[in-house]
Amino acid sequence: MKYPFLLVSFLFAATIFGQPADRTRLAPLPPMGWMTWNLCGDNINESIIRKMADVMESGGMVAAGYRYIMIDDGWQGGRDKKNNMVADSSRFPSGIKALAAYVHSKGIKLGIYSDAAPLTCAGYTASLNFEEQDAKTFASWDIDYLKYDYCHAPEDSATAKIRYTKMANALTASGRDIVFGICEWGGRQPWNWAATAGGSLWRTTGDVRDKWQAKPGEYGVGIMEIVNINAGLSRFAGPGRWNDPDMLIVGLYGAKGPSGDLGGIGCTDTEYQSQMSLWCIMASPLIASNDLANMNEITRRILLNREAIDINQDAAGHQGEQILNDENWLVLLKTLQNGDAALAILNKSGAARDTSVSLAALGLKGNYTIRDLWLHASVGKNNKWKGSIQAHETKLFRLIKK
């Protein structure tokens, strides 16, 4: 090439000022981990993070694939004289970089939080007009993930695209691989533009509350409001570009905190198990938010179900397609890399119902073994299954090609 430096200069300028480089490679599978917000709100400190890292390692969560800890809002201590973002010294006396080193020693990556406005949702220092400086700071702290919120920002989509693209470019220029989670709650339909803006995942709905479904006239979305939006967005998902229906509320049981607001009184274990099943087949990020140090055996069984997690983490990266969604039933079907498939059947009604399914009617050809991933057993025969599904229960099957 006659003027190679021109190409280099052009690519550098495009990365910094124009469309961001392809950042979707940074999350080839849906991220799995734990986030502070639903349990702690902004009442967080380094001791909590270290404790959760210890529990994730010793309790089998890291081995099962949960490899991120996300520090949500409330870590900030403002800016120093050079306008560098600093952590609250009373909450994080050792500093974020030392905390990252500790978390990394456990085989876990560290995420952090900011907002595309002057202040965050909880009123702390945010990153508008300091994108490059903050991205460099996060990189210098060895951060691996940024959740970027959108409180106190304009409602239009055009501004959101500009602000998110600017931070994505800054992360690319920082020299460190930092996964970028776009969090504008779905109102601007980020599935249409967030990957182009540099996001590896994007929230599709409002913040989840610890409830199955909102009552008429009640604010705050539950599991069903979220599923009814996210389940229809499968065509936008794939490796490195994930629809994010917000955190798992499994095991919260109405705990005081942000998820307990707006009718978040808790769910039954059946409903929590359904959330796990649905998030797995929808290829959603699996981000727990309960107290990992004090969870009961049912919660542990739900969060550590390796067979369900395998559906979520399948390398093909398909989000389950919505086959049926009516008053009583939601049916999702997901093709897997090795030729198998996954099938989820949710009884949306308030009473147990009998149903049956024929794999041929779903368009699946050949012979399959039908494996119930919560019973951990083969069920059905001749490519058919018939049985009863409890109220708000989701049957999750792996259809193993013979």
- Would you please indicate which residues are annotated as catalytic (active-site) residues? 149, 207
Cβ count within 10 A of residue 192: 13
**Chain centroid to CA 78:** 27
343/359 Cα distance (integer angstroms): 10
- DSSP structural state of residue 24: G
Closest CA to 242 of 295, 320, 297: 320
Q: Residue 49: which H helix or E strand, with range?
A: helix 46-58
Closest CA to 16 of 152, 102, 136: 136
CA 374 vs CA 140, 212, 279, 307, 308: distances in Å: 43, 20, 15, 8, 8
26/114 Cα distance (integer angstroms): 19
Sheet strands (E) in 131-200: 145-149, 179-182
72/146 Cα distance (integer angstroms): 9
- Burial of 145 from C-beta contacts in 10 A (0-12 / 13-18 / 19+): buried
**Chain centroid to CA 57:** 20
- DSSP structural state of residue 129: T
**What type of residue sits at position 344?**
A
**Chain centroid to CA 275:** 13
| β-pair partners for 175 | none
Q: Residue 326: which H helix or E strand, with range?
A: none
